[in-house]
Amino acid sequence: MIDFHCHLDLYPDPHGVTNACAERRLYVLSVTTTPSAFAGTLALANGASRIRTALGLHPQLAHQRKGELPLFDRLVGETRYVGEIGLDGAPEFKRHWDDQMEVFTHILDVCRVSGGRVLSLHSRRATKAVLDALETRPGVGLPILHWFSGSARELARAVELGCWFSVGPGMLRGEKGRELATRMPRERVLTESDGPFAQIDGRSAWPWEASSAAGVLGQIWGQSLPDVERQLSANLARLGEFAQPKPACAQLG
Ligand code: MN
Mean pLDDT confidence for 33-43: 98
Predicted pLDDT at 240: 76
Residue 7 above 80 pLDDT?
Answer: yes
| 195 CA distance to ligand 1 middle (Å) | 7
6 Cα: distance to centroid of ligand 1 (angstroms): 6
Integer Cα distance of 31 and 52 in angstroms: 8
Give dist(CA 60, CA 80) in Å, integer: 23
**pLDDT tens, residue by residue, 158-170:** 999 999 999 999 9
Rounded-to-integer distance, Cα 83 and Cα 220, Å = 28
The pTM assigned to this predicted structure is 0.94
- pLDDT tens-digit profile of 63-101? 999 999 999 999 999 999 999 999 999 999 999 999 999
Centre of ligand 1 to C-alpha 29, Å, is 11
Digit-coded pLDDT (tens) for 40-63: 999 999 989 999 999 999 999 999
- Cα(84) to centroid of ligand 1, in Å? 6
Distance 223 CA to ligand 1 centre (A): 28
Q: What burial letters (b/e) apply to 4-15, b meaning 16+ CB within 10 Å?
A: bbbbbbbbeebe
Cα 91 to ligand 1 centroid, rounded to whole Å:
18
Strand locations in the chain (E)? 2-6, 27-30, 51-53, 81-86, 117-122, 141-146, 164-167, 189-191, 199-200, 203-204
CA 59 to ligand 1 center in whole angstroms: 10
Amino acid letter, 245 = P
Task: List residues bridging with 145 in a β-sheet.
Answer: 121, 165
Report d(CA 180, CA 108) in Å as an integer: 26
Over residues 206-218, the mean pLDDT reads 97
In the beta sheet, which residues pair with residue 190?
166
Quote the ligand 1 centre to 244 CA distance (angstroms): 24
What dihedral do alpha carbons 244, 246, 251, 253 form, nearest 10°? 90
pLDDT of residue 245: 41
Distance 31 CA to ligand 1 centre (A): 7
Residue 228 has phi, psi (to 5 degrees) of -65, -45
Residue 138 has pLDDT above 70, yes or no: yes
